[in-house]
Every structure is written in structure tokens, then in C-alpha cells.
Structure 1
Amino acid sequence: MPAQPLRPELGPTSLPKVIGGFSTVLADPPWRFSNRTGKVAPEHRRLDRYSTMSLDAIKQLPVKDVTARSAHLYLWVPNALLPEGLDVMSSWGFRYVSNIIWAKRRKDGGPDGRGVGFYFRNVTEILLFGVKGSMRTLSPGRSQVNMIETRKREHSRKPDEQYDLIESCSPGPYLEIFARHPRPTWIVWGDESAEDLVPRGKVHKGYSGGEILPPLGANEHITPSVATALGLELKHRYRDGASVREISEETGYSIQRVRSLLAGADTSMRPRGRRSA
């Protein structure tokens, strides 16, 4: 008896269109792994991370029909499915020219070894870059290194830093396919992209994304400019609802250091023991 799919596969809705076509597309397809019952599989019944699509279904998306004559494609692909990623890129009408590597870091800047893999423990993911027609990157792209180094967030969520990189290197209008979060100035398409939906997937404690903070010893001296930059970053996290203790645990800084940096950034502090609503 053939194995039953873990989730019913529904036909995708039509891709959005703009006059003249999209000049830049970002896509993070819901790749389907061959071992669909293992803990690596996104659609594992117990983990319930997200639904997946077959390779043929991904390839058949009419991306070439909604893009401009000349366009850029940024395509996320798991390390184990690199050939499939190149196949999808070709099917969508793009030729592969380069890639960007996301290096996942711990809070101290070292490689985050909590990734999975049958042969090596993956601490990187690949963002393939393809071109349709003839279009170079914008001027800032000529000095942009092909690496993003930041901390991971919930399962499968890619670094928010990708957007600034893409917007500085490729022209709009922008389309994100398989989006799981809305994005200003972008048109998004995906079954979890609406603002009132919370994407499935566990949020890992201590992984809030954003820039990597430098490790600091208990009495280590820092320059005023570094203190200002750190204070503004911690102020942002504090305003987002994190407590002083949570910031201390996440960064490895002492509670006294966190309070000092927040004070230096003129942070309006909440009463002790209370979290923001």
C-alpha cells in the first residue's frame, strides 16, 4: 500500500503580477526531503513545522511569466538539495551566476553547531543567485560580500538581513514567494504571509536574530562609540519586550552591564518584574 502524504497537497494560488513584471524575486520553497518521517523533515507529524511541495510542483510555478525580461532571483536551497535548487532556477527561467552563504552564529560569534545533517552538522545555508536576461547588480552590490553572518531564529526562518542586502543590490519591484512574514515595499505570496497568521515552527530561546553582539568580560573596557551602539541594540530588544534578565542570558553580559548600557541609551525602564504588553 503506498504511503499516504502527511498533509493533503493543495494546488497553489496564482502568483501576483505587476505591470512590466517583477525585477527581483526572493524564494524559500518548502522543499520536500526523501526521509519525511525523520526529525529533519519539515512536515513531520509531531513537529508540524510547515507543509511541503514536490520538486515538480515547485518547478511548475510560472515564475518566468511574472518577472521582467531582465530580473534577479534569490533562491534558498538546503545543502542536501543543491542540484534540485539549480534545476528549479533553470525551470523558472534564470541562469545560476553566484551564491550567498548564510553562516549561522552563536551569541559569541562562533559557528552554531545546533544544525542538522546526516554527514556533517550544517552551520550554513545557501542562497543561490540567478539572472534572467541581462542585468547586473546595483552599484552597492559590487562591494557586497557574498556572506551573511547572524544568529538563527525559528525553524526555517531566514535572516532578516537578507532584505537590506537584496534591496541594495537588486532593483524593485520585489516579490517574495513562499513568504512567511509580510514585508513593507514587497509583494508577498505564501500560505503563511498574512499579517494575522503566526507561522508554524518553534521559536528557539535565545535566538532573536539581528546582529551578533561581541562577547564582553565582566570588567572589560569598551569605547564610548561601542557602548552607544550596544546600548541602542539592547534598547531595541528591551522595547520589544525582553526583560533585563533575558537580555543578560541572551548576550552573556552581566545584569549590571545590561542596565548600564540601557541607561547610556536613555532607555525608559519598566518597573522591576514587569514585562511590556
Structure 2
Amino acid sequence: MSVARQIKPKPSKLEQQKALLGGASYEDHEAATLFPLMSDDRFAELVESIRANGLIHEIVIHDGKILDGRNRYRACVEAGVEPRFRDFVGDPFTYAWSANGQRRDLVLEQRAVIFVMATKKSEEWKTRQAEIAAEANRKRSEKTKAQHAVSNPRAGETKSGVPTTCGTTKPASAEPKDKNTSATEKAAASGTNRGAIERAERLVKADPALAAKVAAGEVKPTAAHRQLKKAEVEQKVKELPDGKFRVIYADPPWAYNDTREGLGAGDGQTVDRASTAAKNHYPTMTMAELKELDVKSLAADDSVLFCWATFPLLPEQLEVVKAWGFKYKTAFVWDKDRGTFGHYHTAEAELLLVCTRGSCTPDADKREAQVQRHPRGEHSRKPDAIREMIDRLYPHGPRVELFRRGEAPDGWVIWGAEAEEAEAA
């Protein structure tokens, strides 16, 4: 009769560490964790090197924790080699940066984030040490005064019996010396550049947890900055006052200088020569009237305007946009598939101007095609797909559609004479 052999479970890494070190194990110091661990491939190479050659560089300990040599420590455990240690006394964050700051596996933006975090932690550490020293000095001063008072009760009095104030100890300054170091100096010290340092400081201040993920190599710097920007946008949107809109979509009722009479059909088709005039389809407004509209009062400090425009009136339409407080940036083109007869060509396209006030680039990472191809509908009606595109580009914030004909779309407010007529209907 065979007896099943008991299989002893493999000890965990922590158990292996304790066995190797006689029951002791070491945690990682906070300064060391600012840097990412080695990749699996590089760690495997380190294990083989230590197994073959032993540990060459000692592992540095500060306050009972590993300050430098986390990878070497783990490799020793893996290789079954007893590690050697030495203590470090001083600023652990400055030491960690000096030992690891120029690692070749760190990308520039990641290096900048680690440098900013290490510098911040170093300043905090120095402040704590200064406070501890000041408190120790205060206690020593009080103890000396108490002892002196016991041995000489009248030593602290003048002839009139009034106590003197001599012997007051001024606490040590807790202000770090390098607080006002410029971004250029920090860039030189970190081996990066000014832009990387400024972006890193912004990230560390706004989202320390996200910055730590960048430092550890868990999140790419570009992805982190995009995430931070989105968070900032969402916060700004939350703080918008009532009646202020971040997204404005306008289809102004432009008044043209002609009735389009006298135009013949260039393709042999019959054309209603008056039907193409805008005033025959909706009440139009002159440029002066449009400029007088108080669109500024609707716009948030950081907002975007999508405004429909036409090629013949483009210079004047850009002036209207400017009067509303927006700056022209670019334009989308609506390809209508089929056109109407014009003075110089068949009019097959229309422009959607993109204009901003303050800073208002798209929230979405994906960009839309500049030429949007959608079949034309009834006169002046714009494709719903365009508004859906705007929603994709700017999913955050209150939005208003000016000169809307019909009911308000989901998530939008409508404004203007046409909107009032729609609501009254």
C-alpha cells in the first residue's frame, strides 16, 4: 500500500527573506519607492549576476528601511546570496535622487516628475528636521532655565524685582533654502528641460497619486497630462455660473445682398430663381444687427463657438464672431453631396467656423474629419450629425444652440427668436 507523499508548499518571498536574514526583513523606504523597480528581464539578469559574482554594491539602509538597492536586495533573496548593508544618515530623498536620478530606463517626463517629487519630499523632510531641532532647543532652554532658577532663585530679577527676558531661544528656520529655485535651474539639476519641469510641477500639485503612477512607470506622462487636463476642464465646468455656456452652436440668419434672381440653371435643370434667397425662408438679420447680439454674456471665460458661415460673406461673418468675443481658429467643411446654383460655381459646401474664447481645445483625444459629408435637407437645415460631432468633441459643460429652429435637443438649451417661437408652439 503506497502512502501519498506530502508536498511542502514553497515558501513565500517574505518567508525566504526572513530565512535568509535570520528572521528579519526590510521594507522599502518612501524615497526609494519614488523610482520604478527593474523590468522583469533586467531583474533576471541581475539575479544571475549576483548568483555568479555575489553582491558587489552594498544595500543602503535609512531608518531601518531600504533606501537604495531594492532590486539588489530582492535579487539576493532570489539567488540565495546573503546581502550586505550599510546605514545612511541624512536627507534620504536627496540621496535617492543622486543614486538613481540618471537611470537610463527613465524617460524625460518621468524623470522630471520623480525629480519634482523628490525635491518636494526633501523640502518637507528638511522642514521636519528643523522643527524637531527647534523643539529640542526649546526643551533644553526650558530645562536650563528651570535648573538655574532652582540654584539661584533671584537670578532672573532686576533690583526692582521684575523678571528679565534674557535667554530666549529663537527657533531655527524651517524654510527650505531652495524654495525659489527657478524651473531652468531645476531642469539643469534633473537633466530634463524647463517645459518638462513645469508640467511635472503642475501634475504633482494637482494629482499626487497620478504623478506617483507616472514615476512608477504605470501611466505614460502624455496620458497623465491628458487625464489632468480633462479633470481640470470638468472642475471648471462645475464652477460655471448660471447662464454661462462652455459650448455655443450658432446658425445665424445671415442677410445676403441679393435675392438670387437672374440665376439660370447651369446643369440644364429648372431653378426657382427666387427660392434660393434666404429671406424667402426665414427672417434674416443684417451684420450690424448680429453684432449687437449679447452673445458675450452667454459665453464662459473658456468656451468654444461653432458658427455656420458661407463663402460669399466670410469676411463679414468673421467680424461678427469677433464682436461676440471669440477668436477664429479653424473650420469644418460640410460637403452637401449636391449643390445649388451660384454666381461662380455650384454651391456644394458650407463652413462651420471653430472659434474660442480663452482656452477651450477639445476634450476628446480623437479628432474628427475636417470634411463632413452629409446629404442636404430642407433649406438651411443643418445635419444632426454635426451637433453629435460637437458633443463628441466637447462632452463636458453646458451648451446652447442659437437660432435653433425646432425643439431643443437632449442636453442643449436653445436661444433666440426661433427658439421662443418653438417653445410657444
When the two structures are superposed, what TM-score results if normalisation uses the length of structure 1? Answer: 0.57
The 4+ residue runs of structure 1 with deviation greater than 3 A are none
Identity of aligned residues (%): 34
| One of 311, 315, 330 as aligned partner of 1:83 | 315
Return the letter of the residue paired with 2:244: G
Distance between the aligned counterparts of 1:155 and 1:176, measured in 2? 18
Distance between the aligned counterparts of 2:336 and 2:277, measured in 1? 20
Is the radius of gyration larger for structure 1 or structure 2?
2
Equivalent residue number for residue 380 of structure 2 = 156
Equivalent residue number for residue 103 of structure 1 = 335
Distance between the aligned counterparts of 1:178 and 1:92, measured in 2? 15
Equivalent residue number for residue 255 of structure 2 = 32
Equivalent residue number for residue 42 of structure 1 = 278
Inter-CA distance 152–23: structure 2 relative to 1 (3 Å threshold): same
1:133 aligns with 2:358: yes
1:119 aligns with 2:355: no
User: Does the 8 A contact of 2:330 with 2:354 survive in 1?
Assistant: yes
Equivalent residue number for residue 246 of structure 2 = 23
Inter-CA distance 138–36: structure 2 relative to 1 (3 Å threshold): same
Task: Return the structure number with greater helix share.
Answer: 2
> What secondary structure does 2:256 align onto?
coil
Cα displacement (A) at 1:196: 6.7
1:52 aligns with 2:276: no
> What secondary structure does 2:410 align onto?
coil
Equivalent residue number for residue 138 of structure 2 = none
Structure ranking higher on relative contact order (CA contacts 8 Å, 6+ apart):
1
Equivalent residue number for residue 172 of structure 1 = 397
When the two structures are superposed, what TM-score results if normalisation uses the length of structure 2? Answer: 0.38
User: Does the 8 A contact of 1:102 with 1:127 survive in 2?
Assistant: yes
User: Does the 8 A contact of 2:287 with 2:316 survive in 1?
Assistant: yes
| Structure 2 spans left out of the alignment, 5+ residues | 1-239, 262-273
| One of 347, 369, 380 as aligned partner of 1:145 | 369
Deviation string for 1:57-107 (max 9, x for gaps)? 1011111111100100000011111111111111111101110100012xx
Equivalent residue number for residue 295 of structure 2 = 63
Return the letter of the residue paired with 1:62: D
Cα displacement (A) at 1:181: 2.0
Return the letter of the residue paired with 2:254: W
User: Does the 8 A contact of 1:30 with 1:51 survive in 2?
Assistant: yes
Deviation string for 1:29-78 (max 9, x for gaps)? 100011147323211xxxx3100011011011111111100100000011
Distance between the aligned counterparts of 1:191 and 1:62, measured in 2? 14
Distance between the aligned counterparts of 2:288 and 2:424, measured in 1? 30
The number of equivalent residue pairs is 169
